[in-house]
Amino acid sequence: MAIIVRNKSTIWGLNADLAALQAADTAELNRATAAELVLTNGLAQEVLDRIAGDVAVSASLTTEVNRATAAEGVLTANLAQEVLDRIAGDVAVAADLASEVTRATAAEGVLDGKVTTEKNRAMAAELVLTNDLASEVTRATAAEGVLTSGLSTLQSYVDTTVNSAITTLTSDIADETTARMAADAAEVIARDAAILVETNARIADVSDLTDMINFVKENVDPAAIDSLTEIITAFQAADSDINGAITTLANAAGADLDAEIARAEAAEAAIAADLAAEIVLARANEGTLSTAITAEATRATGAEATLTSNLASEVTRATAAEGVLTSNLTTEVNRATAAELVLTNDLAAEVTRATAAEGVLTADLATEVAARKAGSSIPVLESVVVAGNNIMLTSAPQQGVNGILNFATVRYIDGNGLAYDAPVTAGSSDKEFIVSVDSSNQWDGFSVFVQYVKAAV
């Protein structure tokens, strides 16, 4: 009710004012009553509208829950199919990769075996060639040593025996020449002495003749040679004796000189013949040795050329074979590398696709988790140890086994990073669940990851 305030200077008009106040009060009462009726009606309409709104919201919430549940079903089915596809794809890729690794390993083993066999064969052949070459070098070296020793012996024989014989012959010839010269000088001296003796004798004879002539001239003894006839006769007789003696001496000296010259020439001829024979023998032996050395050198050179040619042929063949093996190995490596690249690309594409799909599922899951959180649900990731095929969770999942995410599966990751999923079923309590594996107690002692939704406290 409004309060009206007015200034009054007199008492008059009080009743009118009271009447006016009553009228105003009545009007206010009517207005307030009408307003309250309006408010009451508005409130009643508001209650009806709120009830209708609540009904609509409840219907919308039910529709949203049904839609979300249906979407969750679709997502769950899609996720299950994706998991199956991923598992199948991983199995296929792993099988293909294992097959390729096995094939490539087998092929590489075959190639390694062939390379090893060829290497062993080539090394064995090279060892045989090396041994043959070493044996030939040893034999040729020994033969060359024998030839060298023979040549050295021959050279030593020539240097010692032949040269000594030549020196001896030269010395003998020099000695004989010296002796002949000495003998000739002695002969000349002897002949000069004989001539001197003969000259002296002749001078003595002439002196005797002079004495005789003087004697003849002075001696008239008939018994003495004192006539010219006696003198001439005596002179001629003495001259004849002197000429005979000189002739005899000259003939004897000439005969001795001729004999000595003949002997010396015969000895020199014999020495020259012996020297010529020795030289012929030495040259013949040297020719034989030279021929033998040349023949051996030719044979050794031919054998070495044959060995060198055979070795070169073997090296060429082995090199060609190694080239073929290297080419085959390179081809196989390129093929295996290309195949591995294809597998790697396929695997990368699959990883990219699966990662994208997982991103979508993760986003959807995050949205759903947010929605669940808004609906008083809390997602949990827990690691528990399997014992007797059972796991015990810290909290009870909402809706029991249906509250375990990933289609009610748990995941085990081994030391190599490989993940294995196994489904679970309800156990004896709301926190206990049974892990379904291929054999009993297969995962006992393993830590597994569990994702589930529990109620907010």
Could you report the per-residue pLDDT of 152-184, keeping only the tens digit for each? Answer: 776 777 677 767 777 777 787 778 778 778 877
pLDDT of residue 6: 36
For the chain, percent helix, then strand, then coil, each to nearest 5?
A: 80, 10, 10
Distances, alpha carbon 394 to alpha carbons 155, 249, 386, 431, in Å: 112, 165, 14, 7
Residue 269 has pLDDT above 90, yes or no: no
pLDDT confidence bin for 231, thresholds 50/70/90? low
User: Among residues of the chain, what percentage have pLDDT more than 90?
Assistant: 13
Residue 10 has pLDDT above 70, yes or no: no
- What's the burial of 359, exposed, middle or buried (CB within 10 Å: 0-12/13-18/19+)? exposed
pTM to 2 decimals?
Answer: 0.24
Mean pLDDT of 433-452: 94
**CA 387 to mean position of chain CA atoms:** 55
The residue among 13, 12, 22, 15 whose CA lies nearest residue 4 is: 22
Q: What is the mean pLDDT of the chain?
A: 79
Residues 412, 447 contacting (CB under 8 angstroms)? yes
The whole-angstrom separation of Cα 38 and Cα 47 is 14
- What token pair was written down for 84? 């199956």
Mean pLDDT of 398-425: 92
User: How many beta carbons lie within 10 A of that of residue 444, not counting itself?
Assistant: 14
Residues 88, 426 contacting (CB under 8 angstroms)? no
| Cβ neighbours of residue 410 closer than 8 Å, sequence gap 6 or more | 391, 404, 421, 422, 424, 435, 448, 449, 450
pLDDT of residue 246: 73
User: Strand, helix or coil at 395?
Assistant: coil
pLDDT of residue 409: 94
Q: Which stretches does DSSP call E strand in 307-399? A: 377-385, 390-392
> Rg for the chain (alpha carbons), in Å?
77
Which helix (H) or strand (E) segment is 29 a member of?
helix 14-157
Mean pLDDT of 86-107: 79
Residue 209 has pLDDT above 60, yes or no: yes
pLDDT of residue 174: 77
Comparing 322 with 413, which gets the higher pLDDT? Answer: 413
Low-confidence winner among 99-103, 104-108, 116-120, 231-235 (lowest mean pLDDT) = 231-235
Distances, alpha carbon 11 to alpha carbons 14, 311, 401, 433, in Å: 6, 156, 91, 96
The whole-angstrom separation of Cα 362 and Cα 380 is 15
Residue 336 has pLDDT above 60, yes or no: yes
